[in-house]
A and B are shown apart, each in its own frame.
Chain A
Amino acid sequence: GNSVTQMEGPVTLSEEAFLTINCTYTATGYPSLFWYVQYPGEGLQLLLKATKADDKGSNKGFEATYRKETTSFHLEKGSVQVSDSAVYFCALSEAGNMLTFGGGTRLMVKP
């Protein structure tokens, strides 16, 4: 079956630091890949997505590249802000629109 593995948190960074959250996946076919963000007390929001190999998803300064050879979709941001503090979920979807989530990584950014 499908699975998503992401680095355990929390990840604690100072403001303006570089962020990487690792995500690797196992899938039987050719999934679409996503990063969702969950701010405290809120539901999930789609942050970015990539639907095929070598696609780069980007939004709000965050980027992730679909790497089929390493089955990875690592999230990066060049300069984090306090407002980026949240839980980040890597996810994949194959047929039927169902999402398989990773365990989530909590990011804490200190001023």
Chain B
Amino acid sequence: DTEVTQTPKHLVMGMTNKKSLKCEQHMGHRAMYWYKQKAKKPPELMFVYSYEKLSINESVPSRFSPECPNSSLLNLHLHALQPEDSALYLCASSRETSGYSYNEQFFGPGTRLTVL
């Protein structure tokens, strides 16, 4: 199983709502990533979890709150978002983040978020 799943596929929310994005992998990977992708742009790294601990936060606003409940699951909690936060949110996982050689990142299909 080389699949990363993300739910929901689409999400529309108001600026006062609280919602969560979910990501799951069963490949035994110990690194998981959240990316934000705006239209016609490359993905931008937001957070990295390594062995269920937050290792990288790319200066993301606190209205985005990641959580890694276990090694297979990654959540992104959303609160008080702005319309400019509308984007495709991609989750990825890899064996780990360290090591001599690159560990391939496997991407999920993404959640398309619209903030009204």
Contact = CB atoms under 8 A, between A and B. Distances in A.
A32 B101 CA distance: 8
Given A43-B109, A49-B102, A51-B102, A101 B31 contact: no
Interface stretch (A11-19, A61-69, A92-100): A92-100
Interface residues of A, number: 20
Contacts of B42: 89, 101-104
A44 B94 contact: no
Interface of A: 32, 41-46, 49, 51, 89, 93, 96-99, 101-104, 106
Contacts of A96: 97-98
20 contacts: A42-B109, A43-B90, A43-B92, A43-B107, A43-B109, A44-B107, A46-B104, A46-B105, A51-B102, A89-B42, A93-B102, A97-B98, A97-B105, A98-B45, A98-B48, A98-B97, A99-B105, A101-B42, A102-B42, A103-B41
